[in-house]
Structure 1
Amino acid sequence: MKFSIERAILVKAVSQAQSVVERRNTIPILANVLIETTEDGVSFRATDLDTEVVDRAPAQVERPGATTVSAGMLNDIARKLPDGALVSISLESATGRLSVQAGRSSFSLATLPKEDFPVMSTTEYTANFKAPAPTLRRLFDKSKFAISNEETRYYLNGVYMHVAQTETGPALRCVATDGHRLARIDAALPEGAEALPGVIVPRKTVNELRKLLDDDEAEIAVSVSETKVRFATPTLTLTSKVIDGTFPDYTRVIPSGNTRKLEVDAGDFAKAVDRVATVSSERSRAVKLALDEDRLVLSVNAPDSGAAEEELSVAYADEPLEIGFNAKYLHEIASQIERENAVFLFNGSGDAALIREGGDTSAVYVVMPMRV
């Protein structure tokens, strides 16, 4: 195997691949990246047995072949090479080592046999469709903050992607919840997604997926089965096992009878919550919302460190209400809102609040109250 590749292309490809590699591995081959060359270019494949990423890059290939080498080592070397360098990579048949050369720098790296590298098996996908990158980015970015970190409730450790029936017809929906807050985001159902089985996409996969979605012009090919999900562009493929569990019936916790309506500038509200929460040593300290006619007072009382209060002009015409929330949760939800106004719908001080982006019902958030 022998090929030449531009340093910038190598850095991007190897960093994409090695990001799925776990830092601590009991199986040595899982710390490696599989390098495979064809006449068209080179691919870099890495896996942790649950997630696999393949990055294809253009290269000048002299001799096709394949081997595996430490992903972290190759990534570090590529980053430290001079900008604009042309990197020559070859497998030395005599020693079995990988030679990396650029300018006056040369490295000889230990390899492991390509036959030992575990390649994630291909599977028959029950649904195959394409979706614009901005659509998928919105679905996952606006829901992932609510993913649970509790390992005991493993079925909440991801984003539930499924087809949902709405008032305007079927939609592609992503939902995440940790039991304290919930995010439900809808998008138009892409052609071919009608047979999509509901799957829970793991947190790590959601974070890796973000790298595929930066190009606003890209179309992402999505394939889903009961056990796997795959997202692909012409140069990058991310395949992942889905969480083997049943996502709870989230519709039961979305309130439908909340009638007390508050409209507030989302940016001002997020900044105000952040400011008053500063006096608390605990980010989870409750912030109290005191509502009166067109007036909202945010306050935090932390006996050990102090107190804070801020008043906002809002649109509110219902009965006075006092309700408390986790300051971190409120700030995270308010930060998701892209439209100018956030709409809060309340029932009572002990009931969950529903939050929307203006009149848009395609993004809905729920947050449970706290005692204050």
Structure 2
Amino acid sequence: MKPLNSVLALGALALVIAGGFHYWPESSKPAAMQAPNGSTPSRAAATPTTEPTQSGDQRVVELAVKYLELYGDTITEPATQARLYNERRNLLARYPDAGDELFQSAVTTAFPELADSIFALMAKLDLYNRWLDNHELRLQGLPDMERYAELWQQREAIFGPLASQIWAEEQNPVEAKSDQFQQTLARLDQANQMPLTELAHQLQTTADELYGADLARQLAGSGATGHALFSMDSVQQQLASLPADKRQQTINALRRQIGYSEETVRQLAEEDQRREEKWQKGKAYMAERRALENRLNGDQLEAALTDLRQEHFGFSAPTIEREEEEGFFRFERERRYGLN
């Protein structure tokens, strides 16, 4: 499936469209307000317990190992840190008296250098979820586009530029709005000879015409318009042909053109650099991996691959190994500049 079509099909996957990291009872939770990848805590799984049955230290170590396994590879990314919110809620539901202390100790053990930023993000997610609780009925009664716009406005108010990173995989409401807009996206997706600035201009003009300038600006500020722009094959082909430094300059200019603030452009450029470093490391790893596969086999190959993963990925090596056992090689995915 083409990347653009994948973006347009996100609604069928029940990703976070309106509720984000928020608990909704399964019996009444709207499909458009579910958390991604089934991460919403379950009431049935959370039987309150005053104290953990295991010793506190043992439970902290087990949780720290779990968090490293599940989140360690991408824990520097705000979206990954936000996924810990449901881990914390599960602990609080199971251990009302000790859950928060367990969570803080486990996070500090697993990610000591990031613990403060993770705890600060948890506090903001608490604030956001309280707002959702207080406005739940009113939000459900709004038309889709008005609800999306208000949700994004509140996310921007609480999280600032991090909002577009935390909810990066959410279905893009601009893309989901109308057949007419999807037809425009499909046309621009194939416009390989059209200059990048013109592609951005036509995308923004279409959004303004269909949704009105005010709502289009809100969607641009949320990152939705940028996601649509950088999902297009025509944009990716032109970006891929540029030298790395020129490519980043071009991405920055496109973001400014569609309404990103200078601070957001700067922060996203830093995130782009971190992604680039990961991709370069992954490219080197895959080349060395193929060389080993050409020379070795059996137990010798497995031992060499274990060492190679450890050399390149450190504590994330077990996660990489498990993915490969399941046939998934993350660095063989298609690179999408400005997105992954």
Q: TM-score range by the shorter chain?
A: under 0.3
TM-score, normalized by length of structure 2? 0.23
Where relative contact order (Cα < 8 A, 6+ residues apart) is larger, the structure is 2
Q: Give the number of the structure whose alpha-carbon radius of gyration is greater.
A: 1
From the two aligned structures, give the one with the greater helix fraction: 2
From the two aligned structures, give the one with the greater strand fraction: 1
